Amino acid sequence: MAIDRTAVIGFPVDHSLSPIIHNHWIKELGLDVKPYEKINVDPNKFEDRINNLKIEGYGGLNVTVPLKELAFNISDEISDVSKKLKSVNTLSLSSEKINGDNTDAVGFINSLDKKTIEENITNKKTLVLGAGGSARSIVYALNELGGQVRLFNRTTEKAAILLNDLSIKSDPVCKEELDDYANSSSFIVNTTSLGQKVRDHNDILNFENIETETYIYDLIYNPKRSSFLEQAEVKGLKVQNGLRMLIEQAAYSFQIWHEIKVDVSNELMSLLESV
Ligand code: ATR
């Protein structure tokens, strides 16, 4: 059955760009469905709210912080990747059941061009900074792409738990080893929240001796150039922010609900860059 009502849920959800993205495609394709909305959902009332949204006719919900684990717990059927990540960011609601999926890892993979995957990730040393929710998807994705994944986090124990959960056989990188690992990595991705505030200054990684061919990725897209990416750019390294991943993970949710594969156009990228 066609899904008519879709939305992103979070707490708070006010700053989400998902409505701009989904409504761009709904309009572009001329779909006869309601506009995609954003809805605040109190974590303490999660189950009741989801049931009410189902009754109100919502068939597709994107889930953002801090609700991804609750969404995982409420799902009757869970995709393999969600099971691995223990997190759901896409719910499909029907009268019989709730399906939970996670589109972050696919979104990250689809945000990379073929050349970067081949030259900087597959069979190459990759380094992930941070061990929060988003790091899980990135570590999973890099491992799927055949990268040798190393993980650094300020709190080392969290990195060890993440690697263990994803059955990745490597020890977390400790602070003293970080520069050496970074200097021999082909791909480095920052998943920490350091940089989300305009005045945040990257003090995690020193770019002084990073190889010129190393690809530097930051999941942060606002600001467009985090201090992490700025420092990398000054050194002449190739950099990418998280905007394309944001759109690609939305595209995969859109495909799950509407069974249509959408393109990520330059027009949409520019639209979001101007927000
Ligand atoms: P997300 O869901 O976006 O991944 P999160 O789960 O809150 O967010 O995780 C935030 C990550 O950023 C964590 O790895 C955190 O490190 P800790 O586990 O040590 O808390 C990391 N982080 C946040 N601020 C940081 C800072 N100033 N320096 C280094 N790491 C930081």
Q: Is residue 226 part of a domain?
A: yes
- Single-letter amino acid, residue 24: H
* 149 domain residue, yes or no: yes
Do both 147 and 178 map to the same domain?
yes
Do 14 and 76 fall within a single domain? Answer: yes
Q: Do residues 48 and 163 both lie within one domain?
A: no
pLDDT of residue 2: 86
Q: In what order do the strands lie in the sheet with 238-240?
A: 148-152, 125-129, 187-190, 215-218, 238-240
133/154 Cα distance (integer angstroms):
15
CATH number, position 132: 3.40.50.720
Domain shared by 184 and 222, yes or no: yes
Q: Sorting pLDDT into bands at 50, 70 and 90, what band is 197?
A: confident
Query: Which pair of tokens denotes residue 151?
Result: 């993980």
Asked if 190 and 116 sit in the same domain, the reply is: yes
Per-residue confidence (pLDDT) for residue 199, from 0 to 100: 86
Q: What is the mean pLDDT of the chain?
A: 96
Within 8 A by CB and 6+ apart from 75, the residues are 82, 88, 91, 98, 99, 100
Q: Is there an atom of ligand 1 within 6 Å of 204 CB?
A: yes
Q: What is the pLDDT of residues 21-58, one digit of tens each?
A: 999 999 999 999 999 999 999 999 999 999 999 999 99
pLDDT for 204-213, tens place per residue?
999 999 999 9
Judgement on whether residues 176 and 255 belong to the same structural domain of the protein: no
Residue 254 and residue 135 share a domain: no
Whose Cα sits closest to atom 6 in ligand 1?
132
Pocket flag, ligand 1, residue 158 (CB < 6 Å): yes
Indicate whether 167 belongs to any domain. Answer: yes
Active-site amino acid positions: 68
pLDDT (average), residues 87-100: 96
**Left (φ > 0), alpha (ψ -120 to 50) or beta: where does 146 sit?**
left
Query: Strand pairing of 90-93 and 148-152?
Result: unpaired
Count Cβ atoms below 10 Å from residue 42 Cβ, excluding itself: 10
Residues 84, 120, single domain; the answer is: no
User: Does residue 162 have a pLDDT over 80?
Assistant: yes
User: pLDDT tier at 222 (50, 70, 90 boundaries)?
Assistant: very high
Q: How far is the CA of 2 from the centre of ligand 1 (A)?
A: 38
Q: Is residue 267 domain-resident?
A: no
Q: Is residue 82 part of a domain?
A: yes
- Helix, strand, or coil (residue 86): coil
Burial class (CB in 10 A: 0-12, 13-18, 19+), 65: middle
Q: Do 118 and 230 sit in the same domain of this protein?
A: yes
Helices within 192-226 (DSSP H only): none
Identify the pLDDT of residue 172: 98
Query: Average pLDDT for residues 217-243, to the nearest whole number?
Result: 96
pLDDT of residue 145: 98
Mark whether 51 and 93 lie in a shared domain: yes
Residue pointed to by tokens 């941070």: 130
Nearest atom (ligand 1) to Cα of 203: 28
Q: What percentage of the chain reaches a pLDDT higher than 70?
A: 100
| Domain harbouring 40, CATH code | 3.40.50.10860
Residues 97 and 131 in one domain: no
- Tell me the per-residue pLDDT of 103-153, one tens digit each, with 9 for 90 and over: 999 999 999 999 999 999 999 999 999 999 999 999 999 999 999 999 999
Q: Which domain holds residue 155?
A: 112-241
Lookup: tokens for 79: 């995709």
Q: Are 170 and 150 in contact (CB under 8 A)?
A: yes
61-75, 86-100, 195-209, 213-227 — which is least confidently predicted?
195-209
For residue 218, give both structure tokens.
């930051």
pLDDT of residue 1: 64
pLDDT: which is higher, 78 or 274: 78
Is the CB–ligand 1 distance for residue 133 below 6 Å?
yes
**Looking at the structure, do residues 95 and 116 belong to the same domain, yes or no?**
no
Task: Please check whether residue 272 lies inside any domain of the structure.
Answer: no
The whole-number average pLDDT for the span 231-246 is: 97
270 found inside a domain:
no
Say if 274 falls within a structural domain.
Answer: no
Distance 197 CA to ligand 1 centre (A): 13
pLDDT for 275 equals 87
Q: What is the domain count for the chain?
A: 2
Q: Give residue 101's pLDDT band: very low, low, confident or very high (50, 70, 90).
A: very high
